Amino acid sequence: MTNKSESYEKNFKILENVADSLNKDEINIDDLVEKTKEALSAAKNCINILNYQKGEFKKLENEFALLLNDTVEKKDNKPEMEDGKEPF
């Protein structure tokens, strides 16, 4: 697991814990603002990590597209034998 994944998992767990505590009425009014700040910070971190990952997937998608395009171009440029078969 990468550091980014661990960070995402850690932050997502914070969000889950705060949500669970709110649903069970375990957070008193004195701690509500602090827990809300903690949840907001964790949510921002999760969004930043997801946006980073989205950018990385976009780069990979582009690399695969170039690779496939290059493969198709090389296949199209191969000489054919008289019988229509490729020489190799």
- Is residue 36 included in any domain, yes or no? yes
> Is 84 inside a domain boundary?
no
Residue 51 lies in a domain: yes
Q: Which amino acid is at 34?
A: E
pLDDT at 28: 93
Residue 70, domain member (yes or no): yes
Is 87 within the bounds of a domain?
no
pLDDT along the chain (88 residues), means of 10: 76 96 94 96 96 97 92 71 61
Contacts of 22 (CB under 8 A, 6+ apart): 35
Look up the domain containing 52 and give its range: 3-76
Q: Would you say residue 29 lies in a domain?
A: yes
pLDDT of residue 1: 44
In a domain, 45, yes or no: yes
Number of domains in the chain: 1
Q: Does 81 reside within a domain?
A: no
